[in-house]
Amino acid sequence: MRKFGVIGVGHVGVTVAYTLVTKGIADELVLIDTNEKKALAEQLDLEDAQARLDTNTKIKIQDYSDLEDADVVFVTAGDIEATRTGKGGRWAEFEETKEIVKDIAPKLKNSGFHGVVIVTMNPCDAIAQYLQEQGGFDRQHCFATGTFLDTARMQRVVSEQFGVNAKNVEGYVMGEHGESQFVAWSTVRINGRQLKEFAEMNHKTLDYDDLKEQARLGGWRILEGKGYTSFGIATCAVKLAEAVISDAQLFCPVSSYNEELDTYLGQPAVVGKNGVEYVADIQITDDEKALLKDSAETIKSKFATM
């Protein structure tokens, strides 16, 4: 039986739940929210939808004990208004999300849950580490979406610039899921060819700074337009959960613990039945290594002062 939990059924959490139910990924789903009426409403709405689906998902709400045998729990709680209106970007949520984690972590741990935790809360690198520490979870079993979404945005921007399908763009955005992130351009390829080579072959102008800025600002444009982001991040989270359930050994960037830099940050890793099976040792340039270190220091310094 494939069993999932979603803690926090706001815009992201409910999109995760809807995807799990309508795609027939979940046999059982547990929804938990501080607003019990909201949790009940989403349960009923999803149950109504199942009369027109080819699959069935058993849905429960508001009981942490139901998470004991869950395979994956998504932690999606937070306050997007703090990010949208406050100073400091995603870090504006940190004080509130830390308090949420203080409430969630012991309840999740005491439920007997021993599966994999996937975090989408902001600032996700710091919160994933904080949740791991507060709950006493193995680092391997607790990770965040990190730059998986930022990488998708980079793929979209590059694909639009060069007229290719985004699925044919490889490469990684690394570091913080935030302002200090960077595109590791040495890893970016289109149809198997390095980006610079592909641009030259097709007589295209290659402006790294412009591409980087477009990718970086993608999330903020969505936030400005509809007040929150949901589809992209929820899709990333569900794909990671599917990799856990199927032991897919998915190679992708996620926010996981870096031993050398002593912090959670976005980096390529392999995701399987045990969560982050291992962090990949990929080849990047010396300049990119410096950017990764700087981003790690940004995360650690902000984490220490908030």
* Domain residue extents for the chain: 3-144, 148-305
Residue 62 has what DSSP assignment?
S
**Residue 12 annotated as binding?**
yes
pLDDT of residue 85: 56
**Residue 8 annotated as binding?**
yes
Q: Which residue has the tokens 């899709």?
A: 235
**Residue 11 annotated as binding?**
yes
**The domain defined by 148-305 carries CATH number 3.40.50.150:** no
pLDDT of residue 91: 84
Q: Given a cut of 90, is residue 208 above it in pLDDT? A: yes
β-strand 263-272 against 275-279: which pairing, if any? Answer: antiparallel
pLDDT digits 0-9 by tens, 216-260? 888 889 989 999 999 999 999 999 999 999 999 999 999 999 999
Residue 105 sits at φ, ψ, to 5 deg, of -55, -50
pLDDT of residue 88: 59
**Residue 9 annotated as binding?**
yes
Q: What is the pTM of this model?
A: 0.95
Instruction: Find all residues with CB under 8 Å of 264, minimum gap 6, and list them.
Output: 125, 126, 128, 129, 132, 143, 144, 146, 255, 256, 257, 258, 299
pLDDT digits 0-9 by tens, 111-120? 999 999 999 9
**The domain defined by 3-144 carries CATH number 2.40.50.140:** no
Helices (H) and strands (E) in the chain, counts: 10, 12
**Residue 33 annotated as binding?**
yes
**Residue 139 annotated as binding?**
no
Please identify every residue annotated as catalytic: 177
**Residue 122 annotated as binding?**
yes
